[in-house]
Amino acid sequence: MPVAIEFQQVSRHYGDVKALDRVSFSVEEGEFFSMLGPSGSGKTTSLRLMAGFEQPSSGSLRLMGNEASGTPPYARDVNTVFQDYALFPHMNVLDNVAYGLMVRKVPKAERLAQAREALAMVALPDHGERTPAQLSGGQRQRVALARALVNRPRILLLDEPLGALDLKLREQMQVELKVLHRKLGITFVYVTHDQSEALSMSDRIAVFNKGQIEQIATPRDLYHRPRTRFVADFVGSSNVFDAELAHNLTGKRQPFAVRQEKISLLALGMSAAPGSLQVEGEVLAIQFLGASQRVEVRVGNQTLTALQPESEAASALAAATQAGQRIALQWAEQHMVMLDA
């Protein structure tokens, strides 16, 4: 696959703040690539470097094979969709979408035709005469998308584009963005702090933490094989066994993770299934969640969580188990994921 974007040892420092610290990765052409991480981890900085709104403090950044540093934003084959839409309030929708073409001196009839086409692409063909104030949040986000797409970029950058929408609309737009990505065949770089959004949409995900990338992987690999404690904590919900507890259980000081749904309860005095490990602790809480129930257990100075699918057996066990009791947890060795740190 040809490479659309390549970061080599890229840093961006603001005084003492290392917004991005010697980061290297590449995005393939046509990929849906997400940058996932908590607030302040360097996602927007990375996106702004791609767009050309920022320059690296050091390192090299290539776009479509060419060193990007000398190229201003408007000359890059890249367009950005921001969370806050950044629409012009006094212009109607069609003019908002056609604005980039006007700046590039595309003749009026042609730019309006292209703007209409872009609005059709985002399923808003009949709203061209309205002003942004006359649209819903979801419709405004579509206009922002059309305004980026009308320039026919090879790379579309999206910075938390659905952050302002309510859950239902957000899920609908996630599906639409995926469909659009497939239809256009261009590279999407998608910033989000929402792990379920990243897992559901992406070809690959880069997990950012404190200006560095912890892991880059497909959604499935990230979920099942987190490499670090941070990724195990941040993506999905894993139990992280710290070095000391790991040492008590396995004889080695290497921390490991086990997903909540892979841990089950075991009555005291019963032995774990073959190929499984067990640990005893004190029940802190049992929560009925409908399709499942969550049991929190204190083991040493750690809290472990087991997520059991709801069943008659699980109900019976829950009815017989109370906070404060001692209980055992078990998990199969095959579900232990060894962590680097």
**For binding to ligand ADP (CB under 6 A), which residues are involved?**
14, 17, 19, 37, 39-45
Are 193 and 205 within 8 A, CB to CB? no
CA separation (Å) from 311 to 34, 41, 113, 323?
Answer: 36, 40, 58, 20
Cβ neighbour number for residue 162 with a 10 Å cutoff: 24
Minimum distance from residue 48 beta carbon to ligand ADP (Å): 8
Minimum distance from residue 91 beta carbon to ligand ADP (Å): 28
Identify the bridge partners of residue 264 per DSSP, sorted by sequence position: 330
Minimum distance from residue 191 beta carbon to ligand ADP (Å): 6
Minimum distance from residue 333 beta carbon to Mg ion (Å): 39
**Nearest residue (CB) to ligand ADP, 41 versus 260:** 41
Minimum distance from residue 7 beta carbon to Mg ion (Å): 17
Are 190 and 158 within 8 A, CB to CB? yes
Picked from Mg ion, ligand ADP, none, the partner binding residue 201 (CB below 5 to 8 A depending on kind) is none
CA dihedral 248, 250, 256, 262 (to 10 degrees): -100
Backbone φ and ψ of 6, nearest 5°: -135, 120
**Nearest residue (CB) to ligand ADP, 39 versus 334:** 39
Contacting positions for Mg ion (CB under 5 A): 44
The identity of residue 98, as a single letter, is A
Biggest alpha carbon distance in the chain? Answer: 81
* CA distance linking residue 237 with residue 228, whole number of Å: 13
Cβ neighbour number for residue 201 with a 10 Å cutoff: 19
**Nearest residue (CB) to ligand ADP, 231 versus 307:** 231
Minimum distance from residue 231 beta carbon to ligand ADP (Å): 16
**Nearest residue (CB) to Mg ion, 44 versus 308:** 44
**Nearest residue (CB) to Mg ion, 44 versus 228:** 44
- DSSP label at 38? -
Minimum distance from residue 120 beta carbon to ligand ADP (Å): 32
**Nearest residue (CB) to ligand ADP, 44 versus 238:** 44
List, in order, residues 6 or more apart from 180 with CB less than 8 Å away: 121, 122, 145
Alpha helices in 242-290 (DSSP H): 243-250
**Nearest residue (CB) to Mg ion, 45 versus 79:** 45
301: helix, coil or strand? coil
Picked from Mg ion, ligand ADP, none, the partner binding residue 37 (CB below 5 to 8 A depending on kind) is ligand ADP
